[in-house]
Amino acid sequence: MLFSCAKKNVNVKQIKKSTIDSITDLNSLKAFVKTVDSTLKDFTCVSPHVYKNEELASSPVKQKLDSMIPKTDYIKADLDGNGLMDLVITGETQFSFHVLALMSLGEEQYKIIPLSSPRIYNQFPIYTKLVTKNDSPIIELYKKRTTFKDQKIDKSSLVYKDGTFVEYQDKFANYQITKIEFGTTGCFGTCPVFDLTLVPEGKSLFEAKYYNFSQNLGERKEEEGDFEAVIKPSDFNAIVQMMNEMNIKDLESSYTVSWTDDQTAKLKISFADGSMKYIQDYGMQGTRGLKILYQKLLALRFNQDWERI
């Protein structure tokens, strides 16, 4: 995997120190990374500007990004506001280039958060840039679009929130949501297949079809079936708030990954003004925000007081 190391700092009040503060160059960065976690032992820190690949050397997209993004070895900033410096690094393994955030938790403990998808093979380097918006440190990622022979650049802006990084939004929406319908299809394996119909008041419905209560291939447990419950208001409101913070109406209506035999998520949202939003997401990798939303919706199968119909 690749880690980009940008050497810029956000002007925040530093009240605590960690080993990250002593990192001053690529060599000290590499030495530090090897001590963080055994999973990083095969990662080599590399700036995307110097990433060596003969096929990419003359790429117009790489040349454009090399000129657009200042060359850095790492990004050092307090990204979560806890008074400790964090790192954003780019690096490579044998097969792919990735971006990681190393979040300092104190007492030399660190949390690794992938900023590029671990499931996607990145042959093209990913560029990182630190900016500040509304007094918040934002990590910008630039990469070549994965479509075959596509020469366009995809940019994403990420901000730390609730233990992870999500897409940054300048303003939040204020949708009034009357119904949420969420379902999944099967995959080559034991992905749970179900449909949820959620309303803020009255009975919501959970239709459990396959692999919600068992991961044994080919087995349909007796526990599968139809259930109803009144969704806890705090849980429904938290999902609505997340959709507002994502500006979910502005998202694409279709997402897809490049591999096969994966699961599809289908999301339909009904609004008080009569409008609707549909999202179909093959691979369930659409955006970082959507992936978190899916996990919250998946969790509703087991954290509500469902009664069999």
Supply the DSSP string of 114-170, one letter for each residue: ESS-TTS---S--EEEEEEETTEEEEEEEEE--STT---EEEEEEEEETTEEEE--S
Residues 161 and 266 in one domain: no
The predicted model gives 2-29 an average pLDDT of: 69
Burial classification of residue 279, based on how many CB atoms lie within 10 Å of its CB (0-12 exposed, 13-18 middle, 19 or more buried): buried
In a domain, 9, yes or no: no
pLDDT of residue 283: 94
Residues 23 and 134 in one domain: yes
Boundary residue ending a domain (139, 167, 195): 167
Residues 99 and 120 in one domain: yes
pLDDT of residue 53: 64
Residues 208 and 269 in one domain: yes
Q: How many CB atoms lie within 10 A of CB 152?
A: 8
Residues 74 and 130 in one domain: yes
The predicted model gives 89-111 an average pLDDT of: 92
* Of residues 34, 18, 41, the one with CA closest to residue 103: 18
Higher model confidence: residue 203 or residue 49?
A: 203
**Residue 60 belongs to domain spanning:** 19-167
The predicted model gives 223-233 an average pLDDT of: 94
In a domain, 13, yes or no: no
Higher model confidence: residue 54 or residue 208?
A: 208
> Residue 199 to residues 65, 94, 179, 265: CA-CA distances in angstroms?
46, 48, 5, 19
Structure tokens at 266: 């289908």
The predicted model gives 239-249 an average pLDDT of: 97
pLDDT of residue 121: 72
Residues 121 and 31 in one domain: yes
Residues 102 and 186 in one domain: no
Residues 137 and 181 in one domain: no
Q: How confident is the model at residue 220 (pLDDT cuts 50, 70, 90)?
A: low
Residues 159 and 268 in one domain: no
